Amino acid sequence: MATFKAPKGTYDLIPPVSVKYLAVREAIAAPLRNSGYGYIETPGFEDVGLFARGVGESTDIVSKEMYAFETKGGDQLALRPEGTASVLRAALEASLHKQGNLPVKLWYSGSYYRYERPQKGRYRHFSQVGAEAIGAEDPALDAELIILADQAYRSLGLRNFRILLNSLGDKECRPVYREALQGFLRGLDLDEETVRRAEINPLRVLDDKRPDVQKQLVGAPVLRDYLCDACKAYHEEVRALITAAGVAFEDDEKLVRGLDYYTRTTFEFVHDGLGSQSAVGGGGRYDGLSEMIGGPALPSVGWALGVDRTVLALEAEGVELDIPASTSVFAVALGEEARRVLFGKVTELRKAGVAADFSFGGKGLKGAMKDANRSGARFAVVAGERDLAEGMVQLKDMESGEQSPVALAELIDTVKARLA
């Protein structure tokens, strides 16, 4: 038994399950790459202030869940709890917004960390794929990202998810709504922590999942009644573009998401087969975030989709991904000379673009063929001293069980032709 175990609330990705995670990441990334989004990678930790300013001190993420620490040099750092602030920081630091061609369109994939109560679908270490479009205020960008996420999920075979959509207004109309909501909340029987949160960012109280709080929120002012004409027009354009693309959505006037930087468009992907942890991803517009972290005004929009949650959603729907076998050819050598020759052929197959593996450890025929079966290979190449003396190998189709001799010199071309 191993001395050490993975920390509580984390997990190891191990074959064959890890292949499913890779397939999900690829499916989410594919439509982004086809739409002008370039890949970006940021450090796993950042200055604490980046998240305190950007994500918001009133959020649970910053106040309760962030892994913060002081380095030996006295720097205050935190493991990244989300991706947007880091990506925007990196884009500003590299002056990508000054190189023309706005918006800057970026996608990323990585692990994120929050100190939460572990449960199925909620981990302290989790994986996301995200996308950000930086530097343009255009409802078509908001619609594009929602459509691309919908496309990614449908390409995986997911069907039973819903898209929730809302507008949070902007710096012109949201302060008026904020004041009205705070007035309403002051009349409720809320605990001290929730009262504190209501004074910092009252919209966060709408996101409180506790039944006793939600019960008191009945009759609360609705943001749509306070939207200015510009925000109303912007939101209607987003809705029209999504509808025209054939993407269904539901209006949710209480949707605020768990981050303070959102403005105008906000959306969430939920899957009812996941129980209480129903959100599989989401995002929105964050026009003021760049200024919050010391940059120029750069209206932007983005989302992050949870790889872990998406895998759970696939399992809830019983969707089996069509994942190609990691090995196409498995070589079984009987004898030292055969080992030398077939090992060379395996190297040639790999150079030719064929996924190939080898029976290591000097196993006999029975044990080596068990390895070939476990590998999921389509073909096994078997050779002993007699075969090689005749310049031949045996090529076995692992699906049909048929076996036929093939000239050693023609092995690469024969395998490629049969796989094609």
CATH of the domain at 108: 3.30.930.10
The answer to whether residue 11 sits within a structural domain is no
Identify the domain boundary among 317, 350, 366: 317
Identify the domain boundary among 297, 317, 337: 317
Q: Which domain holds residue 406?
A: 329-419
Are 34 and 122 part of one and the same domain? yes
Q: Within 10 Å of residue 356's Cβ, how many Cβ atoms?
A: 23
Residues 6+ positions from 64 with CB-CB distance below 8 Å: 115
Are 68 and 29 part of one and the same domain? yes
The answer to whether residue 125 sits within a structural domain is yes
**What string of pLDDT tens digits covers the 420 residues of the chain?**
568 999 999 999 998 889 999 999 999 999 999 999 999 999 999 999 998 887 766 566 676 788 999 999 999 999 999 999 999 999 999 999 998 889 999 999 999 999 988 777 788 999 999 999 999 999 999 999 999 999 999 999 999 999 999 999 998 888 888 889 889 988 888 888 888 888 887 887 887 878 888 898 888 888 889 999 999 999 999 999 999 999 999 999 888 776 667 889 999 999 988 877 789 999 999 998 999 999 999 999 999 999 999 999 999 999 999 887 789 999 999 999 999 999 999 999 999 999 999 999 888 899 999 999 998 899 999 999 999 999 999 999 999 999 999 999 999 999 999 998
The answer to whether residue 183 sits within a structural domain is no
Are 104 and 36 part of one and the same domain? yes
Are 345 and 298 part of one and the same domain? no
Give the number of domains in the chain. 2
Residues 6+ positions from 344 with CB-CB distance below 8 Å: none
Are 167 and 40 part of one and the same domain? yes
Say how far apart CA 134 and CA 299 lie, in whole Å: 6
The answer to whether residue 323 sits within a structural domain is no
Taking alpha carbons only, the member of 419, 376, 397 closest to residue 16 is 376
What six digits make up the tokens of 235? 């939101």
Block residue for tokens 């009812």: 272
φ, ψ at 62 (rounded to 5°) = -80, -45
Tell me, what CATH number does 372's domain have?
3.40.50.800
Please give the model's pTM, rounded to 2 decimal places.
0.88
The answer to whether residue 206 sits within a structural domain is no
> Dihedral of CA 119/124/125/129: which sign?
positive
Helix axes 139-156, 307-317, angle to 10 degrees: 50
Are 67 and 21 part of one and the same domain? yes
Are 310 and 333 part of one and the same domain? no
Are 249 and 139 part of one and the same domain? yes
Say how far apart CA 242 and CA 228 lie, in whole Å: 21
Are 271 and 340 part of one and the same domain? no
Identify the domain boundary among 317, 351, 379: 317
The answer to whether residue 403 sits within a structural domain is yes
Are 290 and 343 part of one and the same domain? no
Are 52 and 144 part of one and the same domain? yes
Residues 6+ positions from 371 with CB-CB distance below 8 Å: 330, 359, 363
Are 263 and 364 part of one and the same domain? no
Look up residue 314 and give its amino acid: L
Q: How far are the Cα atoms of 25, 56, 58, 118 from residue 126, in angstroms, in the given order?
A: 13, 20, 22, 11
The answer to whether residue 376 sits within a structural domain is yes
Radius of gyration of the chain (CA): 27
The answer to whether residue 334 sits within a structural domain is yes
